[in-house]
Chains A and B, each alone.
Chain A
Amino acid sequence: MATSEPRGTARRDFLKAAGVLAVGTATVGSAAACDVKEPTQTAADDQGLERVRGFDRTMLDAVAAAVLPESLGAPAIRAVTDRFVAWADGYDPVAEEMHGYGYADIRYLPADPAPAWRAQLQALDVLAQKTTRQSFARLPLDAQRAVLSATLRTERGDRLPSPLGARHVALAVLAFWGSSPEAWNLALGAQVSPATCRTLGDAVKRPLPLAGERA
Chain B
Amino acid sequence: MIIQNSETTVHEADICIVGSGITAAMMAAHLAEHTTQSVLVVEAGKPTTAFRDRTRARERFLAYGESPWKADHLDDQNAFGTTWGFSPSMHVGGLAMHWGGVSPRYSPEDFQLRSLYGVGSDWPFSYTDLDPFYQEAEERMGVAGEQGPPALDPRGKPYPLPPLPINYNLAQLQQWAGKADIATWSTPSAKNSVERDGRAQCQRCDTCYPVCPTGAKYSPDFTWDALMAAKKITLLTQTLIRRLEADAKTGRITAATGNRTDATGAPVTVRAKTFVLAAGFVWSPHLLLLSRSEAFPNGLANRSGLVGKYLAGHRNVNAYLQLPMELLPGINAQHSLVSKQFMRPGKQSRYLRHDLRIWESSVGREPRLRDDNETLLFGDALLKDWQQRAKGATARVRGYYDVLPDKESKLWLDNTHTNRFGDPMPTMAFKDAPESAALREFQEESLRDLFRRMAKAGGGEILRMENSANDLGQEHPTGGCRMGTDPMDSVVNGDGRAHDHENLWVAGAPAQPTASCCNGTLTFVAVGLKTAAAIAKG
Contact = CB atoms under 8 A, between A and B. Distances in A.
Pairing of A with B: yes
Interface of A: 7-8, 10-12, 16-21, 23-26, 28-29, 31, 33-37, 39, 41, 66-71, 87, 90-92, 95-106, 109, 141, 145, 148-149, 152, 155-160, 162, 164, 171, 174, 178, 181, 183-184, 186-190, 192-201, 203-207
Nearest to B144: A200
A159 B368 CA distance: 4
B429 to A, nearest CB: 14
A41 B57 CA distance: 11
Find the residue from A10, A68, A101 having the highest chain B CB count within 10 A.
A101
A25 B203 CA distance: 18
Given A20-B333, A158-B368, 17 more contacts: A20-B207, A33-B55, A70-B379, A99-B88, A100-B209, A101-B84, A102-B470, A103-B84, A155-B369, A171-B369, A178-B366, A187-B367, A188-B329, A195-B207, A197-B213, A203-B165, A204-B165
B67 interface: yes
B376 A149 contact: yes
Chain B interface size, as a band, is 35 or more
Contacts of B378: 66-67, 145, 148
Given A19-B334, A104-B78, A203-B168, A33 B213 contact: yes
Contacts of A11: 65
A155 B377 CA distance: 12
Find the residue from B166, B366, B387 having the highest chain A CB count within 10 A.
B366
A71 B334 contact: no
20 contacts: A19-B362, A19-B396, A20-B334, A37-B59, A92-B64, A98-B66, A99-B88, A145-B376, A156-B370, A157-B368, A158-B368, A160-B368, A162-B65, A164-B64, A164-B65, A178-B386, A198-B205, A201-B165, A203-B168, A203-B335
A96 B66 contact: yes
B1 interface: no
A133 to B, nearest CB: 23
A87 B98 CA distance: 25
Contacts of A12: 65
A31 B56 CA distance: 14
A100 B85 CA distance: 8
A192 B328 contact: yes
Contacts of A197: 203-205, 213-214
A111 to B, nearest CB: 13
Find the residue from B63, B369, B374, B389 having the highest chain A CB count within 10 A.
B63
B64 A159 contact: no
Contacts of A31: 203, 214
B14 interface: no
B526 interface: no
Find the residue from A7, A19, A141, A187 having the highest chain B CB count within 10 A.
A19
Contacts of A205: 168
Contacts of B123: none
B66 A67 contact: no
A189 B384 CA distance: 11
A31 B58 CA distance: 15
A34 B330 contact: no
B165 A34 contact: no
A145 to B, nearest CB: 5
Contacts of B58: 26, 34, 36
A109 B64 contact: yes
A141 B379 CA distance: 10
B164 interface: yes
B475 interface: yes
A207 B328 contact: yes
Given A39-B60, A100-B210, A69 B383 contact: yes
A198 B203 contact: yes
B167 interface: yes
B382 interface: yes
Given A71-B383, A105-B88, A160 B369 contact: yes
B383 A186 contact: yes
Contact of A19 (B63, B83, B361, B366): B361
Find the residue from B55, B89, B335 having the highest chain A CB count within 10 A.
B55
Contact of A36 (B56, B75, B86, B330): B56
Contacts of A188: 328-330, 390
A155 B63 CA distance: 23
Given A33-B200, A174-B382, A187-B387, A152 B376 contact: yes
Which 6 pairs across A and B sit closest by C-beta, in order of nearness? Answer: A157-B370, A194-B330, A11-B65, A203-B167, A197-B203, A104-B83
A36 B330 CA distance: 19
B380 A70 contact: yes
Contacts of A189: 387, 390
A34 B80 contact: no
Contact of B205 (A34, A39, A66, A100): A34
B363 A16 contact: yes
A21 B362 contact: yes
Given A20-B207, A157-B370, A187-B367, A95 B167 contact: no
